[in-house]
Amino acid sequence: MNETTQQTIVQALRTRILSGELAPGQRLVEAHLAGSLGISRTPLRYALSVLATEGLVERSGARGYIVRRFSVTDVLNAIDVRGVLEGLAARSVAERGASPTLARALQDCLREGDAIFQAGAGALGGDAEARYADMNGRFHALIVEAAQNHAVSAALGLNDKIPFVSPATVVFDDAARQQQYMMLAYAHRQHHAIVGALLKGEGARVEALMKEHTHISKESLNLSVEHLHLIAGAA
């Protein structure tokens, strides 16, 4: 099974949790889930381990998982924290100077994102969703890694345990496809601005852009999760 297919399985499970189909506190039965997705248990177990890393599910017993309950306020606050930490990382990279290797890797991310959005809103589904989420996660990780700040990396690693906070976790909603396409296309234009500022050594500007960038994450989340308070198990 290739990486893109595996990412699609992760996205499918994430969507079921987001929609409330898999409810907070629900025990996940491997045989039932594998059957409903039409896959074997091996890729399912990998997908569940990825969602556990994201904080959407948690282990229960030796091999089982349950859907995690979480606070909506915690999610939104953690997105703000991510903006501050990533802004700090980007500023340090800009002020020190981006390496040619980093510049090439970021440009690759921009080209990949451009190709996804050139296809239009109708094409933003399935494989495209998985590719965008992977590209977005890579883009942010490249900047954080280039900062070489272990304190920032450790703090982000902990922060990303809160559901929907990691940049590699992108939520999609079929009911609002056109609106979400416009939001994510705008977010990708921000990627271009971030790379431009970073490569020009504009530390203060790239820090501000990274903080602003997280607002799109919150807007997209609010758009996609109309019933987020119910999914989170909130009162």
Q: pLDDT digit string (tens) for 86-96?
A: 999 999 999 99
> What pLDDT, on a 0 to 100 scale, did the predictor assign at position 230?
45
The total number of structural domains in the chain stands at 2
In a shared domain, residues 18 and 84: no
Judge whether residue 174 has pLDDT over 90.
Answer: no
Measured in Å, how far apart are the chain's first and last C-alpha atoms? 40
In a shared domain, residues 149 and 212: yes
Domain that holds residue 221: 72-231
CA–CA separation, 85 and 165 (whole Å)? 13
Of 112-116, 156-160, 217-221, the range with the lowest mean pLDDT is 217-221
**What is the arithmetic mean of pLDDT over 90-110?**
98
Residue 121, burial from CB neighbour count under 10 angstroms (0-12, 13-18, 19+): middle
Judge whether residue 164 has pLDDT over 60.
Answer: yes
In a shared domain, residues 12 and 60: yes
**What is the arithmetic mean of pLDDT over 19-40?**
87
**What is the arithmetic mean of pLDDT over 56-74?**
82
In a shared domain, residues 148 and 84: yes
**What is the arithmetic mean of pLDDT over 79-88?**
96
User: Which of the four pLDDT bands, split at 50, 70 and 90, describes residue 234?
Assistant: very low
